[in-house]
Amino acid sequence: MNPESTNIRVFMLDDDEDDYLIVRNLLAKVSHYNFEIDWSPSFEAAKAAIENCEHDVYLIDYRLGANTGLELLEWARPIEHPHPFIIMTGAGDEQIERDAMSLGAADYVVKGTFTAELLSRTIRYAISRKQFEAQRVNELMAINQTKDEFISLASHQLRTPATAVKQYLGMALEGFLGELSDTQRQMIELAYASNERQIKIVNELLYVALVDAGKLKLKKEPVIISKLIEATLSEQEGKISERNQTVKLDIDKKLNNVSIIADNLHLRMAIDNLIDNASKYSEHGKTIAVKVGQTPEAITIAVTDQGVGIAKDDMDKLFQKFSRIYNPLSAEVGGSGLGLYWTDKVIKLHGGTLNVTSKEGKGSTFAVSVPR
């Protein structure tokens, strides 16, 4: 409906034709607005009308023989529908009103208590609110898209010079600039490590921007899960050894040559992030357990640490963007608060799930399940 239009198309679902005639006659008295009313006593006809989206508002009677108006609301999902729903009932009932509103109804009116002007105003306000909500959603989507585009652009611009710095520092450490003194080597190694952390944060920003914009495309192919896990642990071996930690790997022997259809790069990055977190949030000398198993429907990967654990009140923050949880090692570890958010998104893109169980001060288990 055009906001400036005076023609309002109404669909009315009511199993009592007399009630329809009353509403039609009341709205016919309203000046300045032309209400075009389509009426049906049929629950199924109402469903068809709602699916066609040809009306500006839906007046739904609560009592409909074998059905109720609330059942129709539950089916129609008014919050997601572009047009508003108004529930009508023959008697005031606060519980029905609360139930209708919780299901997304725009308003609630009691038959026999409204005048032509009141009903007209209720309908028009419901339409206006729905249009305002839609406009607000579009504005927020545009803002979010602009934000994602900015993050993507900024990430590209930041990563290019950081990668160049990495190359130059690496050349210096390899001796291309001549022999380094112990102090020079120490300073360059610190600069190299700092630059690596910056590159990781920039990459996380870029990946998150791609995921949020729906532009992260998975290149799925057969991936032997045991080899993926072993390669990930091999890459992490140096960092884990520096912390004097050990890894206990347990792979179901039946999975030695079993493959799943997945994006090898992104799934490996997701598992790598879980293992890296298990190491970073555990004290030196602890053990990290990685167990790979299977169910008839999925491959399961569980990463268990003996780390600081997660407080019960913080569990709902884990997979939120830019969310960091305070613990005894958080200041030392640092981070952007994007790793688990991105990991969860990647697992979901594979049709899988990521769940966590934890006990503060005892450790955590992050369990991945990916469909076979």
Please give the model's pTM, rounded to 2 decimal places. Answer: 0.56
Beta strands in the chain (DSSP E): 7-13, 34-40, 57-61, 63-64, 67-68, 85-89, 107-110, 221-224, 246-251, 259-262, 287-294, 298-304, 353-359, 363-371
Residue type, 13: L
The per-residue pLDDT for 139 is 84
Residue partners of 184: CB distance under 8 A and separation at least 6: none
Q: What are the tens digits of pLDDT across the range 191-210?
A: 988 888 788 777 777 788 77
Q: What are the tens digits of pLDDT across the range 83-107?
A: 999 999 877 678 888 888 889 999 9
Which of 67, 101, 62 lies closest to 84 in space, CA to CA? 101
Q: How far apart are CA 303 and CA 292, in angstroms?
A: 9
Q: How far apart are CA 96 and CA 60, in angstroms?
A: 13
Q: What are the tens digits of pLDDT across the range 227-282?
A: 999 999 998 888 899 899 999 999 998 888 888 999 999 999 999 999 998 998 88
Is the predicted pLDDT of residue 216 greater than 90, yes or no? no
Q: What are the residues facing 261 on neighbouring strands? A: 222
What is the share, in percent, of the chain residues with pLDDT greater than 70? Answer: 94
- What mean pLDDT is predicted for residues 136-146? 81
Q: Range with the lowest mean pLDDT among 85-89, 312-316, 335-339, 352-356?
A: 335-339
Q: How far apart are CA 28 and CA 34, in angstroms?
A: 7
Residue partners of 254: CB distance under 8 A and separation at least 6: 294
Q: Yes or no: say if 56 and 1 are a contact pair by the CB < 8 Å rule.
A: yes
The more confidently predicted of residues 103 and 4 is 103
The per-residue pLDDT for 113 is 87
Q: What are the tens digits of pLDDT across the range 284-308?
A: 999 999 999 999 889 999 999 998 8
| DSSP per-residue letters across 55-102 | -SEEEEESEETTEEHHHHHHHH-GGGSSS-EEEEESS--HHHHHHHHH
Q: What are the residues facing 59 on neighbouring strands? A: 12, 86
Q: How far apart are CA 68 and CA 81, in angstroms?
A: 19
**Other beta carbons within 10 Å of 301:** 27
Q: Yes or no: say if 249 and 214 are a contact pair by the CB < 8 Å rule.
A: no
Q: How far apart are CA 193 and CA 204, in angstroms?
A: 17
- What mean pLDDT is predicted for residues 147-154? 70
Q: Yes or no: say if 278 and 306 are a contact pair by the CB < 8 Å rule.
A: no
Is the predicted pLDDT of residue 75 greater than 70, yes or no? yes
- What mean pLDDT is predicted for residues 131-158? 77
Q: Yes or no: say if 36 and 10 are a contact pair by the CB < 8 Å rule.
A: yes
